[in-house]
Amino acid sequence: MSRTLLLPDASGKLTPYGLTGTTPIPPARNAPAFNRIVYSAAHVVADPLAAIDPWLQCAVDWDTTIAYRRNLWSLGLGVAEAMDTAQRGMGLDWPTSLELIRRSLDAAKDFSAQGGKALVASGCGTDHLVLENVKTVDEVIAAYEMQMEAIEKLGGKLIVMASRALARVARSPADYERVYSRILSQAKQPVVLHWLGDMFDPALAGYWGSSNVEQAMATALGIIAAHPDKVDGIKISLLDKDKEIDMRRRLPSGVRMYTGDDFNYAELIAGDGFGKELFHGQSDALLGIFDAIAPVASSALGELAQGNLAKFHDLLGPTVPLSRHIFAAPTRFYKTGVVFMAWLNGHQKHFTMVGGQQSTRSLQHFAELFRLADAASALQNPELAVHRMKTLLALHGVEG
């Protein structure tokens, strides 16, 4: 099969593109245990045959969705379940999210029973509320408690997701302190906190009670310092490596920084060795991009665990331009690129998304994503990827 195809450039002009011939990164299935805790936020696979209105209703292909989680576990990656990468708040409602969490936890138990390691943490939020109807902080607390109880009843570890409802009704940092102190005091095991910047979700602007990042950070750090035994770590997604480094150096001993920086993850995971406290000088990871580049990430993390820092960067470095493209503004549409990669790599038979979100990016965007994925050795089956890219091109009227 030809490895050459016509791709549009930014101006829409079609030019021939041939795959670079770079050998795909083999999955590191026998890699040593990583020396970072790594979660991949995982996408969901829509059911394209369901008789629904895609913009209004949600239908999930459960078998394919769970099979992808097994793939992530087989590569040594944990799963951050029912997060924004799974289109939480952008097509995936709370009842479907809870069913996803239940199925994922059941699959993890089965995977572990067969001798594997299946790390799962699940998103706990307030997204079942009708945002326009929320008036008080007490309603937010009750919403968190409801989801918290449901997930913990299944045996799940919590990722306490940033709340659109809280951002709407909070009037000061004290409101955030009140909500998080209440939730953390009840948690059955240490949780991962979640700080998502407004580039990912405009409804979260001013989170922690201030539009000033330094003031917001001080509030979050104060909450963590008041409950260090209930906080495993905090994931921040601000796309600003300096702010992440500043915050991780100020975390209490034993509390991890989970990088959610899909622009600078390679250097943040590698770390800078700052200070005597281990976690102050390096970031663990909770990343959406690791869904799209799982085999490459697994191989790179295996090299890091063996002390091969140069090889770690050689493998992971070329994926950064790909990630920056997938997460380009409007950043909230990054899920489309993640699912597109899953389709190119054969993890699902179609390029259809919950909520019809496959329509959020242009053909030019997909074409550049294809080029960058090739350059990053992230196309695991190049011939299949070319065939599927040509299918998408044909749907847009591009033949040949």
Query: CATH number of the domain that 310 lies in?
Result: 3.20.20.70
pLDDT tens, residue by residue, 233-249: 999 999 999 999 999 99
Q: What is the mean pLDDT of residues 69-74?
A: 96
What percentage of the chain reaches a pLDDT higher than 90? 91
In a domain, 4, yes or no: no
Q: What is the mean pLDDT of residues 23-52?
A: 86
Higher pLDDT, 25 or 276: 276
In a domain, 104, yes or no: yes
Predicted confidence band at 27 (pLDDT cuts at 50, 70, 90)?
A: low
Predicted confidence band at 32 (pLDDT cuts at 50, 70, 90)?
A: low
Nearest to 192 by CA among 268, 124, 143: 124
**Per-residue model confidence (pLDDT) at position 276:** 83
Count structural domains, the chain: 1
Give dist(CA 72, CA 318) in Å, integer: 20
In a domain, 314, yes or no: yes
Give dist(CA 192, CA 153) in Å, integer: 18
In a domain, 106, yes or no: yes
pLDDT tens, residue by residue, 179-208: 999 999 999 999 999 999 999 999 999 999
Give dist(CA 86, CA 104) in Å, integer: 12
DSSP classification of residue 132:
G
Nearest to 350 by CA among 297, 383, 319, 395: 395
Predicted confidence band at 399 (pLDDT cuts at 50, 70, 90)?
A: confident
**Per-residue model confidence (pLDDT) at position 22:** 76
pLDDT at 66 over 60: yes
Give dist(CA 55, CA 77) in Å, integer: 31
Q: What is the mean pLDDT of residues 68-83?
A: 97
pLDDT at 33 over 90: no
Q: CA dihedral in degrees (80, 86, 88, 90; nearest 10)?
A: 160
Predicted confidence band at 3 (pLDDT cuts at 50, 70, 90)?
A: confident
Give dist(CA 276, CA 251) in Å, integer: 13
Longest Cα–Cα distance of the chain, Å, equals 62
Report, in angstroms and rounded to the nearest whole number, the Rg of the chain calculated over CA atoms.
Answer: 21
Tokens of residue 156, six digits: 């799940």
Give dist(CA 243, CA 240) in Å, integer: 6
pLDDT at 31 over 60: no
Q: Are 285 and 336 in contact, with CB atoms under 8 Å apart?
A: no
Residue labelled with tokens 């199925």: 103
Report the first-to-last Cα separation within the chain, whole angstroms: 13
Give dist(CA 378, CA 110) in Å, integer: 29
pLDDT at 100 over 80: yes
**Per-residue model confidence (pLDDT) at position 201:** 93
Tokens of residue 16, six digits: 């021939």
Higher pLDDT, 186 or 400: 186
pLDDT tens, residue by residue, 104-156: 999 999 999 999 899 999 999 999 999 999 999 999 999 999 999 999 999 99
In a domain, 199, yes or no: yes
Predicted confidence band at 24 (pLDDT cuts at 50, 70, 90)?
A: confident
pLDDT tens, residue by residue, 327-367: 999 999 999 999 999 999 999 999 999 999 999 999 999 99
Give dist(CA 372, CA 17) in Å, integer: 12
Q: Are 348 and 263 in contact, with CB atoms under 8 Å apart?
A: no
How many other β-carbons are positioned within 10 Å of the β-carbon of residue 188? 14
Structural domain containing residue 325: 31-359
Q: Which residues pair with 191 in a beta bridge?
A: 231
Predicted confidence band at 29 (pLDDT cuts at 50, 70, 90)?
A: low
Continuous segment of H or E residues that includes residue 6: strand 4-8
Nearest to 35 by CA among 264, 279, 205, 239: 279
In a domain, 18, yes or no: no
Which residues are CB-contacts of 394 (< 8 A; sequence separation ≥ 6)?
none
In a domain, 13, yes or no: no
Q: What is the mean pLDDT of residues 293-307?
A: 95
Q: Are 296 and 28 in contact, with CB atoms under 8 Å apart?
A: no
Tokens of residue 242, six digits: 């300096």
Give dist(CA 308, CA 313) in Å, integer: 9
Q: What is the mean pLDDT of residues 259-265?
A: 97
Strand-pair category, 38-41 with 284-287: parallel
Nearest to 178 by CA among 208, 151, 215, 212: 208
Task: Write down the mean pLDDT value for the chain.
Answer: 95
What percentage of the chain reaches a pLDDT higher than 70? 98
In a domain, 19, yes or no: no
**Per-residue model confidence (pLDDT) at position 387:** 96
| Exposure class string for 372-386: b at 16+ Cβ within 10 A, else e | bbbbbbbbbebeebb
pLDDT tens, residue by residue, 324-337: 999 999 999 999 99
Nearest to 358 by CA among 66, 3, 43: 43
Q: Are 338 and 292 in contact, with CB atoms under 8 Å apart?
A: yes
Q: Which residues pair with 195 in a beta bridge?
A: 236
Predicted confidence band at 277 (pLDDT cuts at 50, 70, 90)?
A: confident
**Per-residue model confidence (pLDDT) at position 167:** 98
User: 214 to each of 211, 221, 226, 265, how far by Cα in Å?
Assistant: 9, 10, 18, 21
